[in-house]
């Protein structure tokens, strides 16, 4: 059965559904850390859990990420802030007629973390599920550093939830994604037709994944980074080989514009192979300790300590030694965090206005610098 997290990959490249013996993520530090963070997040959502919320340090050690404690505590902190926001604003914002306090409380009382779900297509664990008489909501914690399109994963959870609990009376199914590191919450409302359509696309992907090897519709690209086949995939390897041979023989600056742009998918495939190589290298070294490279040379994880200054206690000391003008060039302010701190003091419904007013005040004080940079992106034309 398909894991919901692989649904998007299955739709974009059906052969990714074919069985593989290699599981790169299994046992890697990133995977262990990811699972531990999800455990902590489940504890935060359900204070009745066996671990006391008040002692999150203990919880961190129990779930086994002591050596990454700073990072884990950061995720915990961001989760707490997001969860407060989600609980306060979500039910109210998403109903045409406001729910009574009783209904609102009841709605969130039913928020259950780590719900294992299964139907004929999928099997997986939803991070948080909430239901009332009208709607079904699923929430997914994302703790990675980069945003990606997780819509197919969320629709797959909704498909399983609909099978388990029946159709929502209002016909509304809500999928929320909380990007803890990016400080972003996205939510989208779906209908039964959206879920049916998604189910149809998944079934079609499954059908196409079972075609004979010479007819498999490989579609290499960015999606290969998350694919369990990416170390041994005929589609990706063919494309990467094409890129190597073309880049190895051609002077890219001498190519016509059309030839140059036509190379882009192959170069992206090559990038995906290199990226996967690097992360597998890291996982292998972390598991085996050392890897021999050649006579007298090994690959080894070399630890380096980085000292960072903790702003709160540092501030008292800094003021004794340098002036604010001398201090200013040493500081970088995270705009998103600062605006969130301002919004946290504002009442519900006024948070965005508080942020806007604060930004305007900063602008009037000459404290906002606008800089422009450009990155090359593929843009879909209207
Ligand atoms: S590695 Fe890329 S091309 Fe190959 S199956 Fe996976 S997603 Fe498709």
Same domain, 86 and 198: yes
Residues 6+ apart with CB under 8 A from 24: 228, 230, 231, 276, 279, 280, 283
Same domain, 248 and 144: no
16 lines ligand 1 (CB under 6 A): yes
13 lines ligand 1 (CB under 6 A): yes
Same domain, 176 and 228: no
pLDDT band for 109, please (50, 70, 90 cuts).
Answer: low
Same domain, 55 and 133: yes
Residue 28, pLDDT > 70, answer: no
Residue 47, pLDDT > 70, answer: no
Tens digits of per-residue pLDDT, 236-257?
888 888 888 888 887 888 888 9
Q: What pLDDT shows up at residue 59?
A: 62
Coil/strand/helix, residue 95 = coil
More confident residue, 63 or 70: 70
Mean pLDDT throughout 183-203? 92
pLDDT band for 98, please (50, 70, 90 cuts).
Answer: very low
Mean pLDDT throughout 279-284? 83
Same domain, 170 and 273: no
- DSSP calls for 263-276: THHHHHHHHHHHHH
> Mutation test of ligand 1: which of 211, 229, 265, 272 has the most ligand atoms closer than 8 Å to its C-beta?
229
Nearest CA to ligand 1 atom 7: 224
Q: What pLDDT shows up at residue 209?
A: 93
Tens digits of per-residue pLDDT, 321-340?
999 999 999 999 989 889 88
Same domain, 259 and 173: no
Bridge partners of residue 77, in order along the sequence: none
Please choose, from the candidates 90, 85, 127, the residue with its C-alpha nearest in 3D space to the C-alpha of residue 107. 90
| Closest ligand 1 atom, residue 234 Cα | 4
Residue 381 maps to a domain:
no
Long-range contacts of 108-114 (CB under 8 A, 24+ apart): 111/45, 112/46, 113/41, 113/42, 113/43, 113/45, 113/46, 113/49, 114/38, 114/42
> Mutation test of ligand 1: which of 8, 9, 11, 13 has the most ligand atoms closer than 8 Å to its C-beta?
13
> Mutation test of ligand 1: which of 10, 210, 233, 274 has the most ligand atoms closer than 8 Å to its C-beta?
233
Same domain, 129 and 80: yes
Same domain, 150 and 268: no
Q: What pLDDT shows up at residue 95?
A: 44
Same domain, 29 and 144: yes
Report the 10 Å Cβ neighbour count for 54.
9
Greatest pairwise CA separation for the chain in angstroms: 74
Residue 374 maps to a domain:
no
pLDDT band for 152, please (50, 70, 90 cuts).
Answer: very high
Residue 373 maps to a domain:
no
Contact 147, 184 (CB under 8 A): yes
Tens digits of per-residue pLDDT, 110-136?
678 888 998 989 999 999 988 766 778
pLDDT band for 191, please (50, 70, 90 cuts).
Answer: very high
14 lines ligand 1 (CB under 6 A): no
91 lines ligand 1 (CB under 6 A): no
More confident residue, 22 or 37: 37
Contact 42, 127 (CB under 8 A): yes
Same domain, 141 and 289: no
Average pLDDT over the chain, rounded to an integer: 82
- The length of the chain is 382
Helix orientation angle between 264-288 and 234-249, rounded to the nearest 10 degrees: 110
Domain extent, residue 248, equals 218-300
> Of all residues in the chain, what percent carry a pLDDT higher than 90?
31
Q: What pLDDT shows up at residue 135?
A: 78
224 lines ligand 1 (CB under 6 A): yes
Residue 149, pLDDT > 80, answer: yes
Same domain, 269 and 330: no
Q: What is the pTM of this model?
A: 0.66
Q: What pLDDT shows up at residue 67?
A: 62
Helix (H) or strand (E) holding 297: strand 297-300
Q: How many domains does the chain have?
A: 3
Please give the torsion angle defined by the CA atoms of residues 53, 58, 62 and 68, in that order, rounded to the nearest 10 degrees: 110
């Amino acid at each position: 059965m398909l894991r919901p997290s692989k649904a998007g990959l299955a739709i974009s490249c059906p052969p990714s559904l074919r069985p593989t013996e290699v599981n790169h993520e299994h046992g890697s530090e990133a995977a262990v850390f990811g699972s531990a963070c999800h455990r902590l997040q489940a504890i935060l959502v359900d204070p009745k859990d066996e671990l006391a919320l008040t002692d999150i340090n203990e919880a961190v050690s129990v779930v086994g990420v002591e050596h990454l404690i700073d990072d884990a505590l950061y995720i915990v902190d961001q989760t707490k802030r997001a969860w407060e926001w989600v609980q306060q604003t979500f039910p109210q914002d998403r109903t045409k007629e406001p729910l009574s306090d009783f209904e609102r409380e009841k709605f969130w009382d039913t928020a259950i973390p780590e719900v294992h779900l299964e139907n004929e297509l999928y099997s997986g664990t939803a991070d948080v599920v909430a239901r009332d008489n009208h709607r079904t909501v699923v929430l997914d914690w994302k703790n990675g550093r980069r945003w990606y399109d997780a819509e197919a994963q969320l629709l797959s959870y909704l498909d399983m939830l609909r099978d388990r609990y029946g159709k929502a009376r209002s016909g509304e199914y809500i999928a929320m994604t909380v990007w803890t590191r990016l400080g972003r919450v996205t939510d989208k409302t779906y209908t039964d037709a959206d879920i049916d359509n998604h189910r149809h696309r998944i079934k079609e992907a499954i059908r196409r994944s079972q075609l004979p090897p010479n007819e498999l519709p490989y579609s290499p690209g960015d999606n290969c980074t998350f694919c369990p086949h990416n170390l041994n995939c005929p589609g990706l390897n063919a494309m990467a080989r094409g890129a190597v041979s073309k880049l190895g023989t051609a002077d890219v600056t001498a190519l016509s514009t059309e030839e140059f742009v036509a190379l882009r998918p192959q170069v992206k495939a090559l990038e995906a192979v290199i990226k996967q190589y690097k992360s597998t290298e890291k996982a292998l070294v972390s598991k085996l300790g050392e890897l021999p490279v050649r006579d007298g040379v090994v690959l080894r994880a070399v630890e380096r300590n980085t000292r960072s200054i903790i702003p709160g206690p540092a501030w008292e000391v800094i003021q004794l030694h340098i002036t604010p003008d001398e201090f200013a060039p040493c500081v970088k302010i995270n705009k998103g965090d600062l605006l969130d701190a301002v919004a946290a003091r504002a009442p519900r419904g006024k948070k965005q206005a508080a942020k806007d007013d604060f930004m305007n005040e900063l602008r009037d004080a000459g404290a906002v610098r606008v800089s422009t940079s450009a990155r090359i992106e593929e843009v879909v034309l209207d």
